[in-house]
A and B are shown apart, each in its own frame.
Chain A
Amino acid sequence: MIRALIARDVRRSIGGAAWLPVGFFLVVATLVPFAVGPDPRLLERIASGGLWIAALTAALLPIERLIDPDRASGVLDQLAIRGVSEEAVGAAKVAAHWLTFGPLLLLAALPSSFILGIAPDTLGRTLVALAVGTPGLAALAVMVGALTSGLPRAGALTGVLLLPLAIPLLIFGAGASGDPDSGGLLLEAAVSLLLVAASPFVTGAAIRASRT
């Protein structure tokens, strides 16, 4: 059942909304040179930070379609009736969301890095840091999606919830992108791991609490 659920979620997002964060990521990355001017030295300095901000904002987009549609259409109830625990549903959702969010975001980071003129060695580090951070971002998105599911004006709330919680990822991720000796990558991996480990439980509890 869990595998079927992951396959279903991946199919659903590839068929539609998975491309939205990618486009959004590209747009935000494109905005940076417009906002700070085309000076290559300045851009090179802030480029990896720009990519991280683009990644964080892109992570907000899919949140509302991660949990809420399945709650509203009764899928979550039916899974519970079949004995699938809410935590297992949460884990499946994280896995499925990362599969469509993570690789596509890394793909979008390549053209964005050309726009921002990242130096080749920084690009490698930034891609690794993004790759390590995306599971954490996906886990956070699922968690926030479950916590806000069913609430009025959930859209505005998701940003207020997700972005502050993503700050540790941002700090260590941006650190790892900039300075290879900072140890940021390990700390970022630790934060990402913690989020991935916690997300199924938070998601499960939130699904149970939203049940009426």
Chain B
Amino acid sequence: MKPHLRFEDVACRRGGRLLFEGLSLALGPGEALHLTGPNGSGKSSLLRLAAGLLRAEAGRIDRSDVALADENSALDRELPLGKALRFWADGADAAMEALDLARLAHVPVRLLSTGQAKRATLARVAASEAPLWLLDEPLNGLDSDGIARLDVIITAHLQRGGAVLAASHGKLGGSWTHLELGA
């Protein structure tokens, strides 16, 4: 089957500094890759390359539709959470339920705590129908309940034939292949 994401000999340069080169990877349906590495080793850049937001210095990147969760929630601060999420995906209710956000549906986004905003960002990804999830530090700000819920939605997504690429310093539940940058 066609992989959801494939890097072939990819090099990434940011601000004149070569972050990595000759990087090849393939992420097929049901596969999860945990990206680790010291600060500044290019984890976020790799995710942004995979999302198509950055151009690779060299090499080739093929991808299917992606959903990206980084430090920006991309939700309207003035809108209630439910409405803000529905701007990106009509079927956001199930995702809100999965991350225990349903009771916050009427709270304006600007009033959400760090952890709640992180959950909202993850709900935006979960509500998208994209087969490939790119998660940049998904554990930041999450409590133990949030981490458990994240594990549940990732497992469900993998079982549906999706793929996940996550950059995190923390420990993620489930079975992941590991890739260390800057080693």
The answer to whether A81 touches B66 (Cβ under 8 A) is: yes
Q: Which residues of A contact B53 (CB under 8 A)?
A: 77, 80-81, 211
> Roughly how many angstroms separate A13 CA and B134 CA in the complex, as a whole number?
32
- The answer to whether A211 and B77 touch (CB under 8 A), given A4-B87, A74-B72, A77-B68, is no
In the complex, what residues of A have CB within 8 A of residue B87's CB? 4, 8
Knowing A8-B87, A12-B76, A15-B78 touch, does A74 contact B70 (C-beta < 8 A)?
A: yes
Q: Is A167 at the interface (CB under 8 A from chain B)?
A: no
Query: Are B68 and A78 neighbours in the complex by a CB distance under 8 Å?
Result: yes
* Bound complex: CA A72 to CA B66 (Å): 20
A73 to B70, CA, bound (A): 10
**Which of A72, A81, A211 meets B67, CB within 8 Å?**
A81
Contact present for A78 and B74 (CB under 8 Å): yes
Report the Cα distance A21→B129, complex, angstroms.
40
How close is B9's CB to chain A, nearest CB, in angstroms?
A: 23
A residues 59-88 touching B (CB-CB < 8 Å): 72-75, 77-78, 80-81
Q: Per-residue CB proximity of A136-153 to B under 8 Å, as 1/0?
A: 000000000000000000
> Is A80's CB under 8 angstroms from B70's CB?
no
- Asked if B51 CB lies within 8 Å of chain A CBs, one says yes
Chain B contacts for A12, CB-based, 8 A: 76, 78
Contacts of B74 in A (CB 8 A): 73-75, 77-78
Known contacts A78-B88, A81-B68; A73/B52 CB under 8 A = no
Say yes or no: A211 contacts B54, CB within 8 Å.
Answer: yes
Given contacts A8-B87, A12-B78, A15-B78, contact A74 B73 (CB under 8 A): yes
A78 to B67, CA, bound (A): 8
Contacting residues, chain A, for B78 (C-beta < 8 A): 12, 15
| Contact, CB under 8 Å: A73 / B54 | no
Of chain A, the residue at the smallest CB distance from B54 is A211
Bound together, the chains give a CA A163 to CA B54 distance in angstroms of 33
Q: Which residues of B contact A81 (CB under 8 A)?
A: 51-53, 66-68
Q: In whole angstroms, how far apart are the Cα atoms of A144 and B77 in the complex?
A: 24
The smallest beta-carbon distance between B39 and chain A, in angstroms, is 16
Name the residue of chain A whose CB is nearest to the CB of B66.
Answer: A81
**Docked-complex contact A77 and B76, CB < 8 angstroms:** no
| B75 on the A face (CB < 8 A) | yes
Q: How far is the CA of A75 from the CA of B109 in the complex (A)?
A: 14
A156 to B69 CA separation, bound complex (whole angstroms): 33
- CA gap between A44 and B82 in the complex, in Å: 53
A179 and B71 alpha carbons, distance in the complex (Å): 55
The distance from the CB of A73 to the nearest CB of chain B, in whole angstroms, is 5
13 new A-B contacts, CB < 8 A, other than A73-B77, A77-B74, A81-B67, are A4-B87, A12-B78, A15-B78, A73-B74, A74-B70, A75-B74, A77-B68, A78-B68, A80-B53, A81-B51, A81-B68, A211-B53, A211-B54
> Could you pull out 20 A-B pairs where Cβ atoms are within 8 angstroms?
A8-B76, A12-B78, A15-B78, A72-B72, A73-B72, A73-B74, A73-B75, A74-B70, A74-B71, A77-B53, A77-B70, A77-B74, A78-B74, A80-B53, A81-B51, A81-B52, A81-B53, A81-B67, A81-B68, A211-B53
Chain A residues at the B interface, C-beta cutoff of 8 Å: 4, 8, 12, 15, 72-75, 77-78, 80-81, 211
**Closest 4 CB pairs between A and B?**
A74-B72, A74-B74, A78-B74, A75-B74
